[in-house]
Amino acid sequence: MTPLLDYHALAPELILTVGLCLVLVVDLFVAEDRKVLVTNLAGLTVLASLVPVLTLAVDGADRAMFGGAYAVDNFALLLKGLFLVTGYVTLLMSVNYLDEGDYYEGEFSFLLLSSLLGMTVMASARDILSIFVALELLSIPAYLLAGWRKRDLRSNEASLKYYLLGVLASGVMLYGMSLIFGVVGSTNLYEIGEVLNSSFGRLPLVTVGIFLVIVGFAFKVSAVPFHSWAPDTYQGAPTPVTAFLSVASKAAGFVALMQLVFIGFLGRDDVWGPLFWALAALTMTVGNLIALRQTNIVRMLAYSSIAQAGYILVPFAVAGDSREALATAQSASITYLAIYAAMNLGAFAMVIAIARRTGSGELSSYGGLFKYSPALAVIMSAFMFSLAGIPPLGGWFAKFMIFRAVIEAGTASAVVLGVIAAVNSVIALFYYANVAREMWFSPSPEGVDDRSRVRVPAALSAAVVITLVLTLGVGVYPNAIARLGDMAVLVR
């Protein structure tokens, strides 16, 4: 008999909650020039909450609480780990950025931890209500974080756009959820799954409900045509926040989608299959084509992350209804998310590092970087080509898993989507290679040699090293990540 409250299972969330309260209180008593302490405290909190995630993983037992609404299983643990590591790397990236930009630090850490708390809850949520609560908990702090450079108009725009479209998406999603609840009479995903498999599941009302819920999450993961907020928000937000949004927040959206689709809506692949097919094809293609024309590195990465979301959607589109294909598809999505997190965070960390050197986020300012800062150029190239999926960098395995899911499904529509993905990976190479081209082949802009050597601060270096090691390690020995992805499959 499991106790009513399993404190071990809830420990990551509890530690985060205590930590974020502490951060808020300590911030009041720390002098203005020593705010780094607060960020350090937040970092320690994240690391501390990783400990119970690990002990739970070693323990290995699946736990469920609150009538099955909250589950701690391999899936939940793996994604909690992913969110926490992402949060930690984001904090590493933010320390100097906030300090030097003279932005509020304590509140930043507080909001970031709150958002992280929402994400860890999301990974365990097996009930449409707890999914919704988690989603709001992770989104609302993110709306605020996007506007953190409050003296900058772009940042204001970023925050407002993100907020308005995010709330609209929540509304659409909630309406869809209410329709499903109306038919099923339960908010529990497993019960929804059972009912949708019966004749009730064929009701048009359910079809509309599923459609609306998925559209709502399509906003969250910035799938085309619901992506319009992403580029402006990504460009306007402070760069560490952009990294956090494009990785953690997007991953949270996918986590919710996986739980909904692979548990709740499992029987209705006739609704979500074609929908995801269209979303995936559009998202990859539109994201990549617009990314080709970008001249600002962050905006380019914004469109690139839209396109990457398209690849992650591909397995959803081809999963179909055979258990085996579903398992492969889900494992592919999880693996892709994990690898994408490492390489995209790394790319943003390098954007920050290079901006300290060149003083600009315009691609044209990257000229000649290889000549005066070869290390920065080489590492940035590694992340770019990893995003493009060139072996032996991690991205190749992510793409490989997607193609594997496509071919395993084997249907004509799946293979067509696979070919679309293949063509897209060639288009994507063009703009990723363009960054490398600028750094390696172009001459340095005027006066760059006079600029004194700017050191990359320790925290930022740590962020780069963590992500680089993961990206390279996964590329050379993908077995570890693939096994984790396999273990975390929800469908058995």
Residue 462, both tokens: 């740590």
From the CB of 391, what's the least distance to other proteins, in Å? 4
Considering beta carbons, is residue 162 or 440 the nearer one to other proteins?
A: 440
Q: Looking at residue 165, what DSSP letter applies?
A: H
Place of tokens 């619901």: 226
Q: Is 389 helix (H, G, I), strand (E, B) or coil?
A: coil
> Does residue 471 contact residue 383 with C-beta atoms inside 8 Å?
yes
From the CB of 434, what's the least distance to other proteins, in Å? 8
> Does residue 463 contact residue 92 with C-beta atoms inside 8 Å?
yes
Pick from 21, 187, 234: nearest CA to 114: 21
Considering beta carbons, is residue 154 or 371 the nearer one to other proteins?
A: 371
Contacts of 461 (CB under 8 A, 6+ apart): none
Residue 421, both tokens: 């993905």
Residue 441, both tokens: 């082949």
Considering beta carbons, is residue 265 or 431 the nearer one to other proteins?
A: 431
What DSSP line would sit under 189-252, residue for residue? HHHHHHHHHSGGGG-HHHHHHHHHHHHHHHHHTT-TTS-THHHHHHHHS-HHHHHHIIIIIHHH
CA angle in degrees (0–180, nearest 5) for 420-311-412: 40
The sign of the torsion formed by the CA atoms of 137, 138, 143, 145 equals positive
Place of tokens 């952009």: 242
From the CB of 392, what's the least distance to other proteins, in Å? 6
From the CB of 321, what's the least distance to other proteins, in Å? 18
Considering beta carbons, is residue 229 or 396 the nearer one to other proteins?
A: 396
Place of tokens 């390696």: 440
Other C-beta atoms within 10 Å of 412: how many? Answer: 7
Distance (Å, whole) CA 103 – CA 244: 17
From the CB of 400, what's the least distance to other proteins, in Å? 7
Considering beta carbons, is residue 200 or 400 the nearer one to other proteins?
A: 400
β-sheet bridge partners, residue 72: 63
Residues forming the site for other proteins (CB under 8 A) = 370-371, 374, 385, 390-392, 396, 400, 403-404, 406-408, 410, 415, 418-419, 422-423, 425-426, 429-430, 433-434, 436-437, 440-441, 477-479, 482-483, 485-486
From the CB of 404, what's the least distance to other proteins, in Å? 6
Place of tokens 């081209």: 437
From the CB of 426, what's the least distance to other proteins, in Å? 5
Distance (Å, whole) CA 234 – CA 212: 25
Considering beta carbons, is residue 166 or 418 the nearer one to other proteins?
A: 418
Residue 91, both tokens: 């904090």
Considering beta carbons, is residue 59 or 324 the nearer one to other proteins?
A: 324
Considering beta carbons, is residue 36 or 433 the nearer one to other proteins?
A: 433
> Does residue 237 contact residue 155 with C-beta atoms inside 8 Å?
yes
From the CB of 196, what's the least distance to other proteins, in Å? 30
From the CB of 490, what's the least distance to other proteins, in Å? 17
CA end-to-end span of the chain: 24
From the CB of 423, what's the least distance to other proteins, in Å? 7
Considering beta carbons, is residue 253 or 394 the nearer one to other proteins?
A: 394
> Does residue 241 contact residue 299 with C-beta atoms inside 8 Å?
no
Contacts of 129 (CB under 8 A, 6+ apart): 69, 187
Considering beta carbons, is residue 244 or 370 the nearer one to other proteins?
A: 370
From the CB of 440, what's the least distance to other proteins, in Å? 5
Considering beta carbons, is residue 19 or 478 the nearer one to other proteins?
A: 478
